[in-house]
Amino acid sequence: MNYNIENIRKELESHSEEKYQKFMMKLVPGVDNLIGVRIPTIRKIAKRIAKEDPQSYLENAEEVYFEEAMLQGLVITQIKDIELTLERTKVFIPKITNWSVCDSFCAGLKIAKNNQDLMWNFIMGYVDSDHAYDVRFAIVMMNFHFVNERYIQEAFKCFDKVSHTDYYVKMAVAWAVSTYFVKYPDQIMVYLKNNNLDDWTYNKALQKIRESLKVDKEMKALIKTMKR
């Protein structure tokens, strides 16, 4: 079927909420094309499109609204074929311009679970990018889908080589380090004592660890003493 993109846009508009729009604009600063559609609603539309004809939609989709970019990402996460997923992801990544779309997209790419090697090799192509959200995409993918023994040491290498100075990139690294810490505290403790993270990212990682509800008080006290 051929999707009428204007009709999809009108459907999104029909679900916009002014109060939610104002709330989201505070959470995603710098984004001025938000109309205030809740993620569950966008996900519901995405699932419908994915069942009907995701290819046609993605080939014609636009991103006049923040929500249209989010919708495209969520449609891609519904694709069951890994090669097609990677193909569409490659086209979509340049459209990511904020942390919200990036993180929702990455969280939804659960196809990574059963295609670890293919997905890992794919995201490695973005770690050294000059574009902030390329790098954030790679790091957030590690955070959601590669917190395991097989990739932990490779993840450390990636954290150390990230040189992009963007706030949302540095926050992604700090967040990922704290996520790995919860599951592998001993290995992360060794990494924290010998890494190439800049001081800001390192200290932010310590903060994120201390904020975790899964880390006990004694460990949090120790982590606090490690601040640079």
36: left (phi over 0), alpha (psi -120 to 50) or beta: left
Burial call 71-107: b when 16+ CB within 10 Å, e when fewer: bbbbbbbbbeeeeebbebbeebbebbbbbbbbbbbbb
Tell me what the mean pLDDT of segment 149-176 comes to: 97
Residue-wise pLDDT for 89-142, tens only, equals 999 999 999 999 999 999 999 999 999 999 999 999 999 999 999 999 999 999
What phi and psi, each to the nearest 5 degrees, are found at residue 31? -95, 115
CB 54 within 8 A of CB 79: yes
- CA-CA distance, 123 to 73, in Å (whole number)? 16
Task: List the chain domain ranges.
Answer: 1-108, 112-228
pLDDT band at 1 (very low <50, low <70, confident <90, very high): low
Which CATH number does 112-228 carry? Answer: 1.25.40
